[in-house]
Chains A and B, each alone.
Chain A
Amino acid sequence: MRIDGKGRIDRTRPVTFTFDGRAYAGYKGDTLASALIANDVRVVGRSFKYHRPRGILTAGSEEPNALVEIVGPANQTPNTRATVQELFEGLEARSQNRWPSLRFDALEVNDLAAPFLSAGFYYKTFMWPRRFWEGVYEPLIRRAAGLGSLSGRHDAGVYEKAWAHCDLLVIGAGPAGLMAALTAARVGADVILADESSEPGGRLLSDAAEIGDQPAADWVATVLAELASLPNLRLMTRTTVTGAYDDGTFGALERVGLHRRPRPNLPRECFWRIVAKRSVLTAGALERHIAFEDNDRPGVMLASALPAYMNRYGVVPGQRVTLFGNNDGLRGVARSLMAAGVTVAAIIDPREDAPEEPGVTVHKGAQVVRARGRMGLREITVRSGGREFRLETDCLGVSGGWNPTLHLTCHLNGRPRWSDELAAFVPVEGAVPGMLVAGAANGTFSNHGCLAAGAEAARASLAALGRVAGAVDLPQAEDAPYRIAPLWAVPGKGRAWLDFANDVTVKDVGLAAQEGFRSVEHMKRYTTQGMAPDQGKTSNVAALAVLADATGQAIAQTGTTTFRPPYTPVSIAAMGAGGRGEGFAPQRFLTSDQASRDRGAPMIEAGLWYRPGYFPKPGETTWREACDREVRMVRTAVGVTDVSTLGKIDIQGPDAGRFLDFVYTNMFSTLPVGKVRYGLMLREDGHVLDDGTCARLGPDHWLMTTTTAAAGLVMRHLDFVHQAFCAAWQVRFVSVTESWAQFAVAGPLARDLVASALGHAPDLPFMGCVPVTVQGVAGRLFRISFSGEEGYELAVPTRYGEALFRDLTARAETMGGGLYGMEALNVLRIEKGFITHAEIHGRTTAFDIGMEKMISGKKDCIGKAAAARPGLLGAAREQMVGLVPLTDTVLTAGAHLFAQGVELTRDHAAGYVTSVGYSPTLHSHLALGFLQNGRARHGETVRLVDRLRGVDVLCRVSDPVFHDPKGEKLRA
């Protein structure tokens, strides 16, 4: 029901929305919860286990009941708290966990079966027969369990993530937070003030308190106006700080667009990582419930929610309100409601010495023992002095006391301390380095106390940063003491609820204790207390107290409630913002990329690079046809391919040769200028790290190439070796991978093609390198080959790459040659027995690949000592071999090798296959692989088995070099 003249909503801007398909009206400034209350909607959801009708319990993010699905054009968001969701025109919300409808829910039968569904029911019932689990029990439980549902489609919404840095992060903008921010910002500190709500002010907007001589809300407006004038203060509303992490890093979720009508490119949420030199936690406190029979009936609410709904949104959830609580706070609630003309029928206070309140009947030493009204509260039963009576009421506000919102202080393993005086856990000092806790979050509940503590926390934080904050005048404010007599559960026979979200009752906790789950951690797991989306914000402490009672211990001895991030649910989409689809990883494109795509080449991902797989010709219907043709073209004429993805590291300095000797197994310092050498690099543990060529461009100038896959790895390795072991050597190096475009020209006509491009014959011996001018551009020419044919690689600065690629392609085509892609490149190197990271996969040694002789005896190098250790050499090692099937069969990488006649079990496996391809040169499928003692077994027949893909074929073991074993073509 709407109250005239109250609330901060904009009554000039009506908003229509739907709930379960029915249209309702609200105002701008409403939450979905306040708008539903305005429309007298009492049942908003069904409980998790018993499907009991539930109403709105709170006015904040701690809400356990009012979870709804928000349906948008791009997504469907389950478990949205109606108390947080702001209203916008066209908002479509649906209740959850009910079928077929909210008013009639078939699974409410669970509520009648409640005696059988107590804590541990699932553990006890669905244990046997064992075979029933997958087929019967699990599907059954799955259908019945869970709250909201997903659309089953991708969430097409836009999310963002961002970083922020500050001197002081103030978490929560209630009285303490506003004062802290003001104190720090006035002296120029870089301050971020983050608040969960749409409007800063916290409870000052909810209560009818006065600050100074004005209504608290006016004081808030004055402070906000001053903060807005300070450029060093950033106010982040709708932003929940969700986690505290090491070294002053915080996670925070900002609701950027959730309160607006969806439109393209409007981000829904932004996940912030805030780095703060100091922080002040002023997150306030959360009210807690009291357990009594059927205390979950719609219309039973937390007492503080009533003034919040009235003063912020101008709504009241009932016409005849009763209040039940164990602390003095209820008096303010009663006064606030009555001042607005709401009838407060009674205050029920269990304390015999409870204070009177003018205009209200106060039942002292009394307790509410029962609530009635399945679809909405109708009456309560009160027990007082041994007699029971009924009170007619449609709304009961309950206050079991207040829990400081200390969640963030637990995120780095801080354990809160029990305070008997407050009957609550309070944070311990220093739980989060650099963080001070002030105000209600620290157990200081009066407005005056909060203002003073906020200012003091800011001063202390700035002092720790070496800054002085001046004194801030504290305005006059209420400073009443907080008086409470603990009451957790009213004794009685019926079911009394603790955790509304997970349907945990007082009996469940008692049962857990009775069955031996006496530790709080065991009780939580057995009953699921505190494990719902609300994480037990309104129920954990009461459940702990009930457990303490059941086990006969004090609360402080029973345990503590602790919390992990996030404080409130954070969508994975926000944390991973930007990482979907093409945002998952950066993309690196060759200078020839467009030219390759122009020719219809499908691109293959190679690390972050995109490389052409093959270049289809008209009439070719499979990749194999194109690949076979490209291989034959290279073997008989000439082929061109882009090899710019190989890592290129420019190394200079008088000690460069010495450095290369240390990182490569073989000797480089003796290499003449103008020559290239193949090099092998080991890890310190003796396994192969990478291989590649290294050219000596000048006396102190070298160019190392790495494989595409290991370019970053090798750079990191070189940096480590240099900085850790030989920092004094005069050598420097830098990656130039992206500075040069480099093209391989291979085949019997390669020399003619290079001559045509350069305008003169290259006249370069095998493994030579020389500076060249390519049509006026300074470049480099290397005579190296990865195909086994006569081969050159021509490099030019990147900006000339595409032009040279197109030029070389055109020239090759006039000679009967053309482009070849990754598929052909792979077949060419397999035919030749050249390795890639399929072979040097991290578990192979120089010995395994037949290169142990490349470990020079004349010098030390990284990995040399370990490479010689027992177990990394010898016949027991799986050594690289070639494999040729005896019948025409497609081979598969990953297949296992067995001796003929042995049983196909894992312990009989004698090796495995690393690379496969069809060789049009040898008219056979070929493979490279590793076989125990393989080099001594050339000519033997082994069995190649791939059970996943159904391959089982006999293969002849051979030397891995199938084509031109003497290398005559290379050196031609």
Chain B
Amino acid sequence: MRLTCPLCGPRDRREFYYSGAAVALDRPGAEAPPEAWDDHLHNRDNPAGVTQDLWYHEQGCCSWLKVTRNTVTHEILAVETVGGDSTAGGVA
């Protein structure tokens, strides 16, 4: 598997640290009800198809990346830094 880091270019997956669903980016407010926190922290979909998850370019630029990919076809649809700056398509 290869990911195209928006800053570093196409790299092997071994350079990245995987960290689960991109839901982690949508942090509820401090006053949000427990159910919202429960969903945010613990409840995850397991889609056969398009999913978004977080990867950390630990052996590269240390960017956290939101990767949109297809769990069935293994296609990488988009890689973007969690703060923005997307590159469409994961493979050069």
User: Is A727 an interface residue when CB atoms closer than 8 A count as contact?
Assistant: yes
Whether the Cβ atoms of B32 and A716 lie closer than 8 Å is no
Chain A 233-269 residues near chain B, CB threshold 8 A:
245-249
Whether the Cβ atoms of A245 and B56 lie closer than 8 Å is no
User: Is B92 an interface residue when CB atoms closer than 8 A count as contact?
Assistant: yes
* A895 CB, min distance to chain B CBs, angstroms: 31
Whether the Cβ atoms of A248 and B91 lie closer than 8 Å is yes
* 11 A-B pairs in the complex with CB atoms less than 8 angstroms apart: A249-B2, A684-B24, A685-B42, A719-B56, A719-B62, A719-B64, A720-B24, A720-B56, A724-B24, A869-B34, A870-B34
User: Is A860 an interface residue when CB atoms closer than 8 A count as contact?
Assistant: yes
User: Is B81 an interface residue when CB atoms closer than 8 A count as contact?
Assistant: yes
Q: Tell me which residues across on chain A come within 8 A of B32, comparing CB atoms.
A: 865
User: Is A864 an interface residue when CB atoms closer than 8 A count as contact?
Assistant: yes
Within the complex, which residue of A720, A866, A870 is in contact with B64, where a contact is CB–CB below 8 Å? A720
Chain B: residues with CB nearer than 8 A to chain A? 1-2, 12, 17, 19, 24-25, 27-28, 30, 32, 34, 37, 40-42, 54, 56, 58, 62-64, 74, 76, 81-83, 90-92
Q: Tell me which residues across on chain A come within 8 A of B34, comparing CB atoms.
A: 869-870
Q: Tell me which residues across on chain A come within 8 A of B28, comparing CB atoms.
A: 865
Q: Mark A849-885, 1 if CB is under 8 A from B, else 0.
A: 0000000000010001110011000000000000000
User: Is A571 an interface residue when CB atoms closer than 8 A count as contact?
Assistant: no
* B77 CB, min distance to chain A CBs, angstroms: 13
Whether the Cβ atoms of B1 and A249 lie closer than 8 Å is yes
Whether the Cβ atoms of B37 and A248 lie closer than 8 Å is no
* B13 CB, min distance to chain A CBs, angstroms: 8
Measured in the bound complex, the distance between the Cα atoms of B41 and A866 in whole Å is 9
Measured in the bound complex, the distance between the Cα atoms of B91 and A723 in whole Å is 23
Known: A716-B56, A865-B37. A724 touches B2 (CB 8 A): no
Instruction: Give the interface size class of chain A.
Output: 20 to 34
* B44 CB, min distance to chain A CBs, angstroms: 13
Whether the Cβ atoms of B2 and A725 lie closer than 8 Å is no
Measured in the bound complex, the distance between the Cα atoms of B37 and A684 in whole Å is 9
Q: Apart from A716-B17, A720-B64, what 15 extra A-B contacts exist at CB < 8 Å?
A: A163-B12, A247-B74, A248-B91, A684-B24, A684-B27, A719-B56, A719-B62, A719-B64, A720-B24, A724-B64, A727-B83, A864-B30, A865-B28, A865-B30, A866-B37
Measured in the bound complex, the distance between the Cα atoms of B12 and A246 in whole Å is 10
Measured in the bound complex, the distance between the Cα atoms of B32 and A246 in whole Å is 40
Nearest chain B residue, comparing its CB with the CB of A724: B82
Whether the Cβ atoms of A869 and B37 lie closer than 8 Å is yes
Measured in the bound complex, the distance between the Cα atoms of B11 and A197 in whole Å is 31
Q: Tell me which residues across on chain B come within 8 A of A71, comparing CB atoms.
A: none
* B75 CB, min distance to chain A CBs, angstroms: 8
* B12 CB, min distance to chain A CBs, angstroms: 7
Within the complex, which residue of B40, B41, B83, B90 is in contact with A723, where a contact is CB–CB below 8 Å? B83
Chain A: residues with CB nearer than 8 A to chain B? 163, 245-249, 273, 275, 277, 412, 684-685, 716, 719-720, 723-725, 727, 860, 864-866, 869-870
Measured in the bound complex, the distance between the Cα atoms of B64 and A716 in whole Å is 9
Whether the Cβ atoms of B90 and A247 lie closer than 8 Å is yes
Measured in the bound complex, the distance between the Cα atoms of B34 and A866 in whole Å is 8
Measured in the bound complex, the distance between the Cα atoms of B15 and A163 in whole Å is 14
Q: Tell me which residues across on chain A come within 8 A of B41, comparing CB atoms.
A: 684-685, 866
Measured in the bound complex, the distance between the Cα atoms of B26 and A655 in whole Å is 22
Q: Tell me which residues across on chain B come within 8 A of A725, comparing CB atoms.
A: 27
Q: Tell me which residues across on chain A come within 8 A of B12, comparing CB atoms.
A: 163, 249, 273, 275
The 9 A-B residue pairs whose C-beta atoms are closest, nearest first, are A727-B83, A247-B2, A860-B30, A246-B1, A724-B82, A723-B64, A246-B74, A247-B91, A723-B82
Whether the Cβ atoms of A277 and B56 lie closer than 8 Å is no
Q: Tell me which residues across on chain A come within 8 A of B58, comparing CB atoms.
A: 716
Whether the Cβ atoms of A246 and B2 lie closer than 8 Å is yes
Measured in the bound complex, the distance between the Cα atoms of B24 and A28 in whole Å is 63
Measured in the bound complex, the distance between the Cα atoms of B24 and A720 in whole Å is 10
Measured in the bound complex, the distance between the Cα atoms of B64 and A724 in whole Å is 8
Measured in the bound complex, the distance between the Cα atoms of B17 and A273 in whole Å is 20
Nearest chain A residue, comparing its CB with the CB of B91: A247
Known: A719-B64, A724-B24, A724-B25. A277 touches B37 (CB 8 A): no
* A701 CB, min distance to chain B CBs, angstroms: 21
Measured in the bound complex, the distance between the Cα atoms of B34 and A247 in whole Å is 41
Q: Tell me which residues across on chain B come within 8 A of A865, comparing CB atoms.
A: 28, 30, 32, 37
Measured in the bound complex, the distance between the Cα atoms of B41 and A277 in whole Å is 39
Q: Tell me which residues across on chain A come within 8 A of B74, comparing CB atoms.
A: 246-247, 412
Q: Tell me which residues across on chain B come within 8 A of A273, comparing CB atoms.
A: 12
Known: A684-B24, A684-B41. A277 touches B2 (CB 8 A): no
Measured in the bound complex, the distance between the Cα atoms of B17 and A275 in whole Å is 20
Measured in the bound complex, the distance between the Cα atoms of B83 and A913 in whole Å is 43
Q: Tell me which residues across on chain A come within 8 A of B63, comparing CB atoms.
A: 723
Whether the Cβ atoms of A275 and B2 lie closer than 8 Å is yes
From B27, B63, B76, residue with most partner A Cβ within 10 Å: B27
Measured in the bound complex, the distance between the Cα atoms of B42 and A870 in whole Å is 15
Nearest chain A residue, comparing its CB with the CB of B42: A685
Q: Tell me which residues across on chain A come within 8 A of B42, comparing CB atoms.
A: 685
